[in-house]
Amino acid sequence: MSEIKKPPIGITPKFINEGIRKREIIAAIMRYLEADYKIPLEWVVEYNELARDGGQ
């Protein structure tokens, strides 16, 4: 009997990456708030896009 060849490991699902990215943005925003720095608009826009699209 021949051995079944498994495919290589693919990529992490998009929803997982989006959830991680959303948590990273939240953490960065919190650090900036604690340091009394202005939050970059790009972060807010990206966070809102991830939240709207359902990133965990």
Identify the residue with better confidence: 30 or 54: 30
Q: Are 28 and 46 in contact (CB under 8 A)?
A: no
25 within 8 A of 46, measured Cβ to Cβ: yes
Residue 56 lies in a domain: no
Assess if residue 7 is contained within a domain: no
6 occurs within a structural domain = no
Cα gap 42→37, rounded to integer Å: 14
* Position 33 in a domain: yes
Q: What's the structural domain count of the chain? A: 1
Domain that holds residue 40: 14-51
Q: Residue 3 falls within a domain, yes or no?
A: no
**Residue that has been written with the tokens 């990456």 in this structure:** 17
- The tokens for 36 are 């009394």
Instruction: Say if pTM beats, i.e. exceeds, 0.95.
Output: no
pLDDT digits (tens, 9 = 90+) for 19-47: 999 999 999 999 999 999 999 999 999 99
Do the domain assignments include residue 5?
no
Residue 4 lies in a domain: no
Answer for the pair 17, 10: CB distance below 8 angstroms, yes or no.
no
